[in-house]
Amino acid sequence: MEDPRPVVAYIASKELMQISSLLPSNPQRSTLVHTLARSLNLYSREFSTERFLQLVPPQKAERSQLNLYHTDDYLNFVLNPDNADELSKTEYGLEEDCPLFRGVSLYVELVGGAAITAVKTLQHPRWGRHHAKKNSASGFCYVADCVLAIMQLRRLAQQTPSGPRKPRIMYLDLDLHFSDGVSQAFHQTSSTSPNILTLSIHHTAPGFFPSTPLADLPTPTSDPFTLSLPLQQGASNATFLRAWACVERIRTAFDPDFVVVQCGVDSLAGDPHAIFNWSLGPCDDISGRGSLGWCVSRVLNHPDWRGKKLLLGGGGYDSPNAARAWAYLTSIALGNPLPLNTEIPSDETNEFFPQYAPSFTLDVPAGTMQDRNTDEYLRSVERVFEEAAIAIQQRLTAT
């Protein structure tokens, strides 16, 4: 008998886990993530009565699929790196923060393929690299899986009483760093086709990566479908709660059919960047308002957020905390949020148990640094986003 519960598709395989664990910026992180998910029984159909998790192995992206966004020259190099010379490495961004590593070509094929597989699974129900450019690697990102996913989604026509139309796709980026690769990919495409909206909540400051005018607070002449919400140092749950009201206003104006969320966790307290105070949870409306778990739960579970959702990974440079966060977000997606005081399993299912010291629990608590996001600054953000929402509604009404 077919299980009547909704499916949460979890795109993963041993091959993807192993190759992702070779990523120079996050060695072994992928192994920690999937090991913790398994040891917490998230893969079990008995974990939740609301939904069940279905493991879906990614298919390798074909060259033609990667070519939907990436240039031939870049793919010729990154998929065949054995004859690499120093000049080419520089040209294609494969140095400094994105060095070549053993298995990079398979990594590009599998990570790109995982995003495409996820979209296909959304279409027939039964990870996020947001810095990579069309012709180069950047910011620890070798393949633009977020962009590839959005490009696949926009092929899925939506049926309406007046006939099929292009889908509206909202991309929401929660990483500490601005989503330059994704935002640049779709910047100003709304002038002819206002169907893709990108919104990045992040930190920006002089010298902070990435350096681009698109990371600044929008102006009245900015493209209202390429939005940036920069937060100052020390952003807390209370600050994210106020920022989230802007997100909700944009969502109401745009009314997306699909929502893609890049769940980077380097914004959490405890990350080596040490920029924000954001906590992992809880996800309830009483004590968790503004936390990462609460924000993601709104997208996944609140009736105002209609349509299908695609969650991607991203930054996060304390690997045990990244594993904690993504396990917790998966439990929210499954409709059975784990208690934050859940103990990290210490049996044979979790060989990485010592890395979760000193708390050995699931929680990533809030930080205590000064929140430099003043009321005056947040009021200015709210004014800008109200103007953007009005501009979005006007543009959509005119098409």
pLDDT tens, position by position, 119-146? 999 887 554 444 454 554 554 466 778 9
Over residues 189-223, the pLDDT tens digits come to 555 668 999 999 999 999 998 989 999 999 989 99
Q: Specify the range with the lowest mean pLDDT, choosing from 103-107, 249-253, 383-387.
A: 103-107
Whether 327 is covered by a domain: the verdict is: yes
pLDDT at 320 over 50: yes
Answer yes or no: is 210 within a domain.
yes
The pLDDT assigned to 21 comes to 94
Q: Quick one: pLDDT band at residue 399, thresholds 50, 70, 90?
A: confident
2: in domain: no
- How many domains would you assign to the chain? 1
Structure tokens at 91: 């040209």
Count the residues in the chain.
Answer: 399
- Which of 263 and 83 is assigned the larger pLDDT? 263
pLDDT of residue 128: 44
pLDDT reported for residue 66: 95
What pLDDT is attached to residue 130? 40
Q: Mean pLDDT over residues 23-48, rounded?
A: 95
Is 380 inside any structural domain? Answer: yes
Give the pLDDT of residue 171: 97
Whichever domain contains 294, its CATH number is 3.40.800.20
As a whole number, mean pLDDT of residues 241-260 equals 98
Locus of tokens 């040490």: 274
Structure tokens belonging to residue 172: 């929401």
Is the predicted pLDDT of residue 297 greater than 70, yes or no?
yes
- Amino acid of residue 299: V
Range from 23-32, 153-162, 319-328 that averages highest in pLDDT: 319-328
For residue 267, what are the domain limits?
7-398
Q: Report the distance separating Cα 240 and Cα 229, nearest Å.
A: 10
DSSP, collapsed to helix, strand or coil, labels residue 255 as coil
Residue 377 predicted with pLDDT over 50: yes
Residue 1 lies in a domain: no
Taking every pair of C-alpha atoms in the chain, what is the biggest distance, in angstroms?
A: 60
Q: Would 271 be classed as within a structural domain? A: yes
Average pLDDT (343-353) is 92
State how far the Cα of 13 lies from the Cα of 1, in Å rounded to an integer: 26
Percentage helix, strand, coil for the chain under 3-state DSSP, each rounded to 5: 40, 15, 50
Is 203 known to be catalytic?
Answer: no
User: What three-state secondary structure class fits 278?
Assistant: strand
Distance (Å, whole) CA 294 – CA 291: 5
**Confidence at residue 131, expressed as pLDDT on a 0 to 100 scale:** 43
Mean pLDDT of all residues in 157-178: 91
Residue 245 lies in a domain: yes
In a domain, 291, yes or no: yes
Numbers of helices and strands, H then E, in the chain: 12, 9
299: closest CA among 333, 264, 268? 333
pTM over 0.85: yes
Q: Which of 130, 131, 177, 203 is catalytic?
A: 131
Please work out, in degrees rounded to the nearest 5, the angle formed at the alpha carbon of residue 160 by the alpha carbons of 156 and 163.
85
Q: What is the pLDDT of residues 43-69, one digit of tens each?
A: 999 999 999 999 999 999 999 999 999
